[in-house]
Chains A and B, each alone.
Chain A
Amino acid sequence: MELTERHVEGLKHLLYKMADDLLIIGHRNSEWTGMGPILEEDIAFSSMAQDKIGQSLAIYNILHEMGEQEPDTVAFTRNASSFHCSQLVEQPIGEYDFSLVRHFLYDYADAIRFDMLSNSIFEPLAMVCKKFRGELKYHTMHANIWIKDLAEGNEESKTRIQNALNKAYPMALSLFEPSEFDKELSEAEIFSGEAKCRTIWEKEVGTVILEAGLEIPQVSDPEEYYGGRSGKHTEHLQPLLDEMTEVFQIDPTADW
């Protein structure tokens, strides 16, 4: 099938939000290096962060092949209003409970998205998503084990995980903020759309939450954290980008 200009525009929008999510969550996860509650978790978060950043690079590379700028330029020179990440990923790492729950909610969403996109008619994306699926399997496995262990650990850990869930769950809905391209991308069999992702996600994370003896948070305003996809961000993103680009910006034309 021939891609129209509108399809290309929609695809780029999809790729940017995916890559930006991955870059920013990877950056946040990497902040646990040296700070984890046990060494093994330090290592696990670092490992997942490397996967995320590697995945974001692969998607920026696809964008580059579609005529966008080099991955380094795209990642290290834009300001917050040009980023399309969700408001979930830009939140500070907080304590381990929040980071763990965010990782759980986020990775289920990505696993579902990658799974769907593995069948996309847009070959370059389908190919990388097939590869990512293999990596994601371990991320969701890691999340499942820890959510369950801490939910069943003791009173304090259960309360902490539930509270973190109450905080992060409404934010996670911002991952599925509908896009104006959803319908056309779905009709063209490029991507089945955010609504479908969200339905599967609610079912899958809901199962894990209930099995762990936790409650699925009730969300009064599902759109509270929307806006990231069109460049509306919390106060946390720009400082993150300032830090991330600090050295690169000393001389963006230099080889580092």
Chain B
Amino acid sequence: MYGNAYIDPKKANSSLVDGENPEKLAEFEARIARGEKIEPKDWMPAMYRKQLVRMIEQHAHSEIIGSLPEGTWITRAPGFRRKLALMAKVQDEVGHAQLLYNAAETLGKSREDMINDLISGKSKYSNVFNYPAKTWADSAVIAWLIDAGAIVNQLANSRGSYGPYCRALERICAEESFHLKYGHDNVVFLATGTSKQREMVQDALTRWWPPIMHFFGPSDKDSVHSETLMRWKVKMASNDDMRQQFLNMYVPKIWDLGLTLPDANLKKNEETGKWDYTEPDWEEFKRVINGGGPCNAERLAVRRTAEENGQWVRKALLKESETYVTPLS
């Protein structure tokens, strides 16, 4: 589960290619233009490597942190069917983290360094996971709509230029599509269930709508268009395009279930064919990304505890005679 990578405005465009060998750069760009994939041992501009590490790493962190809000509902899931499905789903998310850390490692940063950067707060993860999953219905809404959003983003990125990331994403998308079916089924049962169940799911949806709108990142007019990153097929679709695609696919489905969304301006504009909506509070988005969300501290504390408690295990497994090997991807 993952939203769009947050691109640092200070690092945009021309500075990405400063100091690169122009011939190698031209060949690299020509390969990408021809639709070829870049593989770990191939030449690549330093900033391409850096941006990709950051993006894949953020994605991996999102999977592992994302397993926490849903994971708390595994032990509470009502009935065998839901319990087994949710266990498998959250296990998939942890498996995605493993695949993605491997893909990022092919670019030269070790998993350990990435996890250290996560728990120190240096690297980011998707903002949505800094909100609490208060009820069982929250876990259903996450599984349906956050995973749906992730698929929109990841399908776009799977057509990117870096081979190991694309291959990881193809597998991830296949699994996410099952999550989405599970989440949808779960929401349908709640939305068509008892009044208590309907109330739970409506409440969850209302609370999750702003984070879902934030999920694809700031509006295009306020975010940096990184033409170079687009040309290098690191960034594959604009934030607004992905948000529109998501709204178009899922708002009708939500309304079909008799559920409402907390935005009176949300409607499809028949002239433009696009969805009109109230811009979500982007100040809040920035506040949460910078650590001020309701669960940032808790999520990192849990992760830190897990790392600390597991340290003796990792230490015991380390053999001095063995050297670090970059994983295959």
Does B98 sit within 8 A of A, measured CB to CB? yes
Q: For residue A46, which residues in chain B have a CB less than 8 angstroms away from its CB?
A: 87, 90-91, 94
Q: In the complex the two chains form, is A38's CB within 8 Å of B313's CB? A: yes
Contact A31 B75 (CB under 8 A): yes
Choose from B68, B77, B84 the contact partner of A34 (Cβ within 8 Å). Answer: B68
**Assembled-state Cα–Cα distance A42/B91 (Å):** 8
Q: How far is the CB of B188 from chain A (nearest CB, A)?
A: 10
CB atoms of B193 and A254 under 8 A apart: yes
Selected contact of B94 from candidates A43, A53, A246, A255, CB within 8 Å: A43
Q: Does A205 contact B (CB under 8 A)?
A: no
B325 at the interface (CB under 8 A from A): no
Interface string of A243-256 (1 = CB under 8 A from B): 11011101100111
Complex CA gap A44/B245 in Å reads 36
A contacts with B: majority SS = helix
Q: Which residues on the A side are within 8 Å of B310 (C-beta)?
A: 36-38, 41, 96
Contact of B84 among A37, A54, A156 (CB under 8 A): A54
Determine whether the beta carbon of B194 is less than 8 Å from that of A150. no
Residue of A nearest to B77 (CB): A247
Q: Lowest 6 CB-CB distances: which A-B pairs, in order?
A: A37-B310, A153-B316, A157-B316, A37-B313, A46-B91, A256-B78
- Complex Cα distance A165/B261, Å? 54
Task: Give A79 to B121 CA distance when docked, in angstroms.
Answer: 43
Q: Find out whether the CB atom of A256 lies under 8 angstroms from the CB atom of B91.
A: no
B 80-118 to A, binary, CB cutoff 8 A, 1 in contact else 0: 101110011011001101100100000000000000000
Interchain CA distance A240-B76 in the complex, whole Å: 10
Residues on B lying within 8 angstroms of A by beta carbon are: 64, 67-68, 71, 73-80, 82-84, 87-88, 90-91, 94-95, 97-98, 101, 136, 189, 193-194, 196-197, 302, 306, 309-317
Are A47 and B80 in touch, CB under 8 angstroms?
no
A-B contact pairs, 22 of them (CB 8 A): A27-B75, A33-B94, A34-B302, A34-B306, A35-B302, A37-B306, A37-B310, A37-B314, A43-B98, A46-B87, A50-B87, A76-B78, A95-B309, A150-B313, A150-B316, A156-B315, A244-B75, A247-B78, A251-B194, A251-B196, A254-B194, A256-B78
Contact A154 B74 (CB under 8 A): no
Decide if A160 is an interface residue (CB 8 Å cutoff): yes
- What sequence of 0s and 1s flags, for each residue 15-36 of chain A, a beta carbon within 8 Å of any chain B beta carbon? 0000000000001001101111
**A104-121 with Cβ < 8 A to chain B:** none
Q: Is A72 an interface residue (CB 8 A)?
A: yes
Which residues of chain A from 137 to 186 have a CB within 8 Å of any chain B CB?
149-150, 153-154, 156-157, 160
B80 lies within 8 A of A50 (CB) = no
Q: Of B71, B94, B312, which contacts A157 at CB under 8 A?
A: B312
